[in-house]
Amino acid sequence: MKIKTQAIENGFQIVAEVPKKVTWDSQLMEEIIKTIPEVHRRDYIKTTYSIDEHKYAYFLSEYQQLFKPACTITPGKVRFKISIPEEE
C-alpha cells in the first residue's frame, strides 16, 4: 500500500507517493518465536540484526570498525511526479 498525495500548484499537478514501511515489535516477536518449535522456526521466520544509528555513533571506535563492513546506507523511495493537468 502506498500513501499518495496530489495537489495543483501554479498550473502544475504534483503527485507524491510514499510506500508503506512495516515494522515489528522485536521484543514481543522474540517471545512469540520461543513458542514455535525450533525445527519450524527456520521455515517461517527470518532473523535480522540491526543497530540504532544514534547508538552506533557512541560505540567505541574499535566496535564501530568491527560492524562497519556490515552496514549499508541507501536512500528511501520517495517519488514525485509533476505534470500539467489535463483540461476537462
* Domain around 70: 2-83
Q: Is residue 35 part of a domain?
A: yes
How are beta strands 79-83 and 2-9 bridged, if at all?
unpaired
Query: Is this structure's pTM higher than 0.85?
Result: no
Mean pLDDT confidence for 49-60:
90
- pLDDT band, residue 21 (cuts 50/70/90): confident
Is pLDDT at 87 greater than 70 in this prediction?
no
CA distance 30 to 27: 5
Q: Is residue 12 part of a domain?
A: yes
Determine the pLDDT at residue 1. 63
* Overall number of domains in the chain: 1
Q: Is residue 72 part of a domain?
A: yes
Q: Is residue 50 part of a domain?
A: yes
Q: Is residue 88 part of a domain?
A: no
Query: In whole angstroms, how far apart are CA 31 and each of 28, 34, 40, 49, 77?
Result: 5, 5, 15, 16, 32
